[in-house]
Amino acid sequence: MSNSAVKVFEALKWASSFLKENDRDANAGEILLQHFLKQTRSQMLANLHDELSDADFGQFKDAIELHAEGTPIQYIIGSEEFYGRTFFVNEEVLIPRPETEELIYYTLRKLPAIFMEGRKLRLADIGTGSGAIAITMKLEKSNLMVTATDIAEPSLEVARKNAESLGAEVEFMQGDLLSPFMNMNEKVDILLSNPPYIPEDDHKSMSVVVTGHEPHRALFAGIDGLDFYRRFMEQLPLVMKVPGLIGFEVGAGQGAAVADLLKRTFPAAEVSIINDINEKDRMVFAELK
Protein backbone atom coordinates (compact mmCIF):
# COMPACT_ATOMS: atom_id res chain seq x y z
CA MET A 1 0.00 0.00 0.00
CA SER A 2 1.47 3.38 -1.00
CA ASN A 3 1.81 6.34 1.38
CA SER A 4 0.01 8.85 -0.88
CA ALA A 5 -2.86 10.51 1.02
CA VAL A 6 -4.12 7.44 2.84
CA LYS A 7 -7.24 8.00 4.91
CA VAL A 8 -7.69 6.48 8.37
CA PHE A 9 -10.38 4.03 7.25
CA GLU A 10 -8.23 2.92 4.28
CA ALA A 11 -5.25 2.27 6.54
CA LEU A 12 -7.41 0.24 8.94
CA LYS A 13 -8.96 -1.77 6.12
CA TRP A 14 -5.54 -2.58 4.68
CA ALA A 15 -4.17 -3.55 8.10
CA SER A 16 -7.15 -5.78 8.91
CA SER A 17 -6.82 -7.70 5.64
CA PHE A 18 -2.99 -7.95 5.88
CA LEU A 19 -3.13 -9.24 9.47
CA LYS A 20 -5.82 -11.82 8.62
CA GLU A 21 -3.65 -13.13 5.78
CA ASN A 22 -0.85 -13.60 8.32
CA ASP A 23 -3.05 -15.31 10.96
CA ARG A 24 -2.97 -12.38 13.34
CA ASP A 25 -5.83 -10.61 15.13
CA ALA A 26 -7.37 -8.17 12.63
CA ASN A 27 -8.22 -5.71 15.45
CA ALA A 28 -4.54 -5.09 16.19
CA GLY A 29 -4.58 -2.39 13.51
CA GLU A 30 -6.96 -0.25 15.55
CA ILE A 31 -4.79 -0.46 18.68
CA LEU A 32 -1.62 0.41 16.79
CA LEU A 33 -3.16 3.32 14.85
CA GLN A 34 -4.65 4.78 18.05
CA HIS A 35 -1.15 4.66 19.53
CA PHE A 36 0.52 6.49 16.63
CA LEU A 37 -2.28 9.08 16.33
CA LYS A 38 -2.41 9.49 20.16
CA GLN A 39 -6.20 9.24 19.98
CA THR A 40 -8.85 7.25 21.85
CA ARG A 41 -10.80 4.68 19.84
CA SER A 42 -13.86 6.98 19.68
CA GLN A 43 -11.72 9.91 18.49
CA MET A 44 -10.16 7.78 15.77
CA LEU A 45 -13.53 6.41 14.62
CA ALA A 46 -14.93 9.96 14.46
CA ASN A 47 -12.06 10.90 12.13
CA LEU A 48 -12.13 7.95 9.72
CA HIS A 49 -11.96 10.22 6.67
CA ASP A 50 -8.94 12.21 7.88
CA GLU A 51 -5.76 11.78 5.86
CA LEU A 52 -2.73 10.33 7.62
CA SER A 53 0.61 12.12 7.43
CA ASP A 54 3.36 10.23 5.62
CA ALA A 55 5.19 9.84 8.94
CA ASP A 56 2.17 8.40 10.77
CA PHE A 57 1.31 5.99 7.97
CA GLY A 58 4.96 4.92 7.61
CA GLN A 59 5.20 4.10 11.33
CA PHE A 60 1.85 2.34 11.27
CA LYS A 61 2.75 0.23 8.23
CA ASP A 62 6.08 -0.80 9.80
CA ALA A 63 4.31 -1.74 13.04
CA ILE A 64 1.67 -3.84 11.24
CA GLU A 65 4.40 -5.69 9.35
CA LEU A 66 6.31 -6.30 12.61
CA HIS A 67 3.18 -7.68 14.28
CA ALA A 68 2.45 -9.87 11.25
CA GLU A 69 5.94 -11.36 11.68
CA GLY A 70 5.12 -12.12 15.34
CA THR A 71 6.19 -9.17 17.49
CA PRO A 72 3.54 -8.64 20.21
CA ILE A 73 1.65 -5.32 20.02
CA GLN A 74 2.73 -4.48 23.57
CA TYR A 75 6.42 -4.60 22.64
CA ILE A 76 5.77 -2.42 19.58
CA ILE A 77 3.98 0.31 21.54
CA GLY A 78 6.15 -0.28 24.64
CA SER A 79 3.38 -0.64 27.21
CA GLU A 80 0.50 -2.69 28.58
CA GLU A 81 -2.40 -1.85 30.89
CA PHE A 82 -2.52 -3.71 34.19
CA TYR A 83 -4.96 -3.11 37.05
CA GLY A 84 -5.89 0.26 35.56
CA ARG A 85 -2.30 1.49 35.19
CA THR A 86 0.11 1.68 32.27
CA PHE A 87 3.28 -0.42 32.59
CA PHE A 88 6.33 -0.05 30.35
CA VAL A 89 7.34 -3.38 28.78
CA ASN A 90 10.09 -4.63 26.48
CA GLU A 91 11.40 -8.03 25.44
CA GLU A 92 13.22 -8.47 28.79
CA VAL A 93 9.90 -8.99 30.61
CA LEU A 94 6.73 -11.02 30.28
CA ILE A 95 3.73 -8.98 29.13
CA PRO A 96 1.39 -8.64 32.16
CA ARG A 97 -1.80 -10.74 31.71
CA PRO A 98 -5.35 -10.18 32.97
CA GLU A 99 -5.15 -13.47 34.91
CA THR A 100 -2.44 -11.95 37.10
CA GLU A 101 -4.79 -9.08 37.98
CA GLU A 102 -6.99 -11.75 39.57
CA LEU A 103 -4.08 -12.93 41.74
CA ILE A 104 -3.88 -9.39 43.14
CA TYR A 105 -7.65 -9.07 43.53
CA TYR A 106 -7.94 -12.26 45.59
CA THR A 107 -4.82 -11.48 47.65
CA LEU A 108 -6.27 -8.10 48.66
CA ARG A 109 -9.54 -9.80 49.64
CA LYS A 110 -7.75 -12.39 51.82
CA LEU A 111 -5.49 -10.04 53.81
CA PRO A 112 -8.04 -8.69 56.36
CA ALA A 113 -9.01 -12.20 57.53
CA ILE A 114 -5.38 -13.27 58.09
CA PHE A 115 -3.62 -10.22 59.51
CA MET A 116 -4.56 -7.75 62.24
CA GLU A 117 -5.60 -4.32 60.95
CA GLY A 118 -2.79 -1.75 61.00
CA ARG A 119 0.02 -4.31 61.27
CA LYS A 120 3.09 -3.55 59.13
CA LEU A 121 3.35 -6.39 56.62
CA ARG A 122 6.30 -7.40 54.46
CA LEU A 123 5.38 -8.63 50.96
CA ALA A 124 7.72 -10.35 48.51
CA ASP A 125 7.07 -10.65 44.77
CA ILE A 126 9.35 -13.34 43.37
CA GLY A 127 10.31 -13.19 39.67
CA THR A 128 8.87 -9.70 39.34
CA GLY A 129 9.54 -9.10 35.62
CA SER A 130 7.89 -5.77 34.79
CA GLY A 131 7.12 -5.23 38.48
CA ALA A 132 3.37 -5.48 37.86
CA ILE A 133 2.51 -7.50 40.99
CA ALA A 134 4.83 -5.69 43.43
CA ILE A 135 3.99 -2.18 42.22
CA THR A 136 0.24 -2.80 42.07
CA MET A 137 0.17 -4.29 45.57
CA LYS A 138 2.08 -1.28 46.95
CA LEU A 139 -0.23 1.20 45.21
CA GLU A 140 -3.38 -0.65 46.26
CA LYS A 141 -2.22 -1.09 49.89
CA SER A 142 0.28 1.63 50.71
CA ASN A 143 1.22 0.37 54.20
CA LEU A 144 2.80 -2.81 52.75
CA MET A 145 6.60 -3.00 52.73
CA VAL A 146 7.20 -4.50 49.29
CA THR A 147 10.33 -6.21 48.00
CA ALA A 148 10.55 -7.61 44.47
CA THR A 149 13.21 -9.99 43.20
CA ASP A 150 14.26 -11.23 39.79
CA ILE A 151 17.20 -13.28 38.58
CA ALA A 152 17.73 -10.98 35.57
CA GLU A 153 19.09 -7.44 35.99
CA PRO A 154 17.55 -6.27 32.63
CA SER A 155 14.10 -7.24 33.98
CA LEU A 156 14.76 -5.32 37.20
CA GLU A 157 15.66 -2.23 35.14
CA VAL A 158 12.17 -2.36 33.59
CA ALA A 159 10.55 -2.88 37.01
CA ARG A 160 12.47 0.06 38.53
CA LYS A 161 11.39 2.30 35.66
CA ASN A 162 7.74 1.31 36.25
CA ALA A 163 7.98 1.88 40.00
CA GLU A 164 9.42 5.34 39.40
CA SER A 165 6.87 6.36 36.76
CA LEU A 166 3.93 5.08 38.85
CA GLY A 167 5.22 6.48 42.13
CA ALA A 168 5.53 3.17 44.00
CA GLU A 169 8.05 2.72 46.79
CA VAL A 170 9.31 -0.81 46.13
CA GLU A 171 12.68 -2.36 46.99
CA PHE A 172 14.23 -4.40 44.15
CA MET A 173 16.83 -7.13 44.63
CA GLN A 174 18.56 -9.37 42.12
CA GLY A 175 18.66 -13.05 42.98
CA ASP A 176 17.37 -16.54 42.30
CA LEU A 177 13.94 -17.20 43.88
CA LEU A 178 14.12 -16.70 47.67
CA SER A 179 17.92 -16.57 47.97
CA PRO A 180 18.03 -12.76 48.59
CA PHE A 181 15.87 -13.24 51.73
CA MET A 182 17.67 -16.40 52.86
CA ASN A 183 21.08 -14.72 52.48
CA MET A 184 19.99 -11.88 54.79
CA ASN A 185 18.01 -14.16 57.12
CA GLU A 186 14.87 -12.09 56.47
CA LYS A 187 11.27 -13.30 56.66
CA VAL A 188 8.07 -12.16 54.95
CA ASP A 189 4.36 -12.15 55.78
CA ILE A 190 3.06 -12.40 52.21
CA LEU A 191 4.71 -14.06 49.23
CA LEU A 192 3.31 -13.78 45.71
CA SER A 193 4.73 -15.19 42.51
CA ASN A 194 3.80 -15.76 38.90
CA PRO A 195 6.72 -18.08 38.11
CA PRO A 196 7.50 -19.81 34.82
CA TYR A 197 5.04 -22.72 34.56
CA ILE A 198 4.81 -23.83 30.92
CA PRO A 199 5.98 -27.41 30.21
CA GLU A 200 8.96 -27.48 27.81
CA ASP A 201 7.12 -29.53 25.17
CA ASP A 202 4.35 -26.92 24.85
CA HIS A 203 6.89 -24.73 23.05
CA LYS A 204 6.12 -26.58 19.78
CA SER A 205 2.40 -25.75 19.79
CA MET A 206 2.62 -22.15 21.06
CA SER A 207 2.30 -19.00 18.97
CA VAL A 208 5.54 -17.42 17.72
CA VAL A 209 4.13 -14.16 19.14
CA VAL A 210 4.95 -15.63 22.56
CA THR A 211 7.86 -18.01 21.95
CA GLY A 212 9.69 -15.75 19.51
CA HIS A 213 9.66 -12.65 21.69
CA GLU A 214 8.80 -13.09 25.38
CA PRO A 215 11.77 -14.18 27.54
CA HIS A 216 11.95 -17.98 27.79
CA ARG A 217 13.33 -17.72 31.34
CA ALA A 218 9.89 -16.33 32.32
CA LEU A 219 7.89 -19.00 30.48
CA PHE A 220 9.24 -22.54 30.67
CA ALA A 221 9.75 -24.77 33.70
CA GLY A 222 10.79 -28.35 32.98
CA ILE A 223 8.91 -31.36 31.65
CA ASP A 224 5.68 -30.78 33.61
CA GLY A 225 6.00 -27.03 34.21
CA LEU A 226 6.27 -27.50 37.99
CA ASP A 227 10.05 -27.12 38.48
CA PHE A 228 9.85 -23.69 40.11
CA TYR A 229 7.04 -24.67 42.50
CA ARG A 230 9.15 -27.61 43.69
CA ARG A 231 12.11 -25.33 44.30
CA PHE A 232 9.85 -22.91 46.19
CA MET A 233 8.82 -25.70 48.58
CA GLU A 234 12.44 -26.21 49.65
CA GLN A 235 12.87 -22.52 50.46
CA LEU A 236 9.46 -21.27 51.65
CA PRO A 237 9.67 -22.72 55.22
CA LEU A 238 12.86 -20.67 55.71
CA VAL A 239 11.31 -17.30 54.84
CA MET A 240 7.59 -17.40 55.71
CA LYS A 241 6.23 -15.95 58.93
CA VAL A 242 3.13 -17.34 60.67
CA PRO A 243 0.46 -16.15 60.18
CA GLY A 244 1.32 -15.77 56.53
CA LEU A 245 -0.06 -15.91 53.01
CA ILE A 246 1.42 -17.53 49.90
CA GLY A 247 -0.20 -16.88 46.52
CA PHE A 248 0.88 -18.48 43.23
CA GLU A 249 -0.38 -18.08 39.70
CA VAL A 250 -0.40 -21.50 38.01
CA GLY A 251 -0.97 -22.88 34.54
CA ALA A 252 -4.42 -24.26 33.74
CA GLY A 253 -4.56 -27.85 35.02
CA GLN A 254 -1.72 -27.38 37.54
CA GLY A 255 -3.84 -26.26 40.51
CA ALA A 256 -4.17 -29.64 42.22
CA ALA A 257 -0.47 -30.48 41.85
CA VAL A 258 0.68 -27.12 43.28
CA ALA A 259 -1.91 -27.32 46.08
CA ASP A 260 -0.58 -30.78 46.97
CA LEU A 261 3.00 -29.46 47.11
CA LEU A 262 1.90 -26.68 49.48
CA LYS A 263 -0.07 -29.08 51.71
CA ARG A 264 2.93 -31.37 52.04
CA THR A 265 5.21 -28.42 52.85
CA PHE A 266 2.78 -26.75 55.27
CA PRO A 267 0.48 -29.47 56.70
CA ALA A 268 -1.36 -26.99 58.95
CA ALA A 269 -2.06 -24.49 56.16
CA GLU A 270 -5.46 -23.82 54.62
CA VAL A 271 -4.82 -24.36 50.89
CA SER A 272 -7.29 -23.23 48.22
CA ILE A 273 -7.47 -23.33 44.43
CA ILE A 274 -9.28 -20.44 42.74
CA ASN A 275 -10.47 -20.40 39.13
CA ASP A 276 -9.98 -17.36 36.92
CA ILE A 277 -12.72 -15.55 35.01
CA ASN A 278 -12.49 -18.24 32.28
CA GLU A 279 -13.14 -21.00 34.86
CA LYS A 280 -9.57 -22.31 34.62
CA ASP A 281 -7.65 -23.16 37.81
CA ARG A 282 -5.26 -20.23 37.94
CA MET A 283 -4.43 -19.34 41.55
CA VAL A 284 -3.35 -21.40 44.52
CA PHE A 285 -3.23 -19.84 47.98
CA ALA A 286 -1.85 -21.18 51.26
CA GLU A 287 -2.92 -19.43 54.48
CA LEU A 288 -0.41 -20.27 57.18
CA LYS A 289 -1.95 -20.52 60.64
Q: pLDDT (tens digit, 9 = 90+) per residue, 96-151? A: 999 999 999 999 999 999 998 888 999 999 999 999 999 999 999 999 999 999 99
The C-alpha atoms of residue 15 and residue 162 are separated, in whole angstroms, by 31
| pLDDT score for 264 | 97
As to burial, measured by CB atoms within 10 angstroms (0-12 exposed, 13-18 middle, 19+ buried), residue 117 is exposed
At 254, which amino acid appears?
Q
Annotation: binding site: 127-131, 150, 194-197
In this structure, how many other beta carbons lie within 10 angstroms of the beta carbon of residue 111? 18
Which residues have C-beta within 8 Å of that of residue 280, sequence separation ≥ 6?
Answer: 252, 253
In the chain, which stretches have pLDDT less than 50?
203, 206, 209, 213, 218-219
The C-alpha atoms of residue 154 and residue 156 are separated, in whole angstroms, by 5
At 227, which amino acid appears?
D
| pLDDT score for 3 | 52
Q: What DSSP character marks residue 139?
A: H
If DSSP states are collapsed to H, E and C, what string results for 40-86?
Answer: CHHHHHHCCCCECCHHHHHHHHHHHHHHHHCCCHHHHHCEEEECCEE
| pLDDT score for 225 | 73
| pLDDT score for 215 | 52
CATH value of 91-288 in 3.40.50.150, 3.40.50.2020, 3.40.640.10, 3.10.310.10: 3.40.50.150
Annotation: binding site for substrate: 194-197
Annotation: binding site for S-adenosyl-L-methionine: 127-131, 150, 194
| pLDDT score for 212 | 52
| Per-position b or e across 43-62, b if 16+ CB within 10 A of its CB | ebeeeeeeebeeebbebbbe
| pLDDT score for 223 | 61
| pLDDT score for 222 | 59
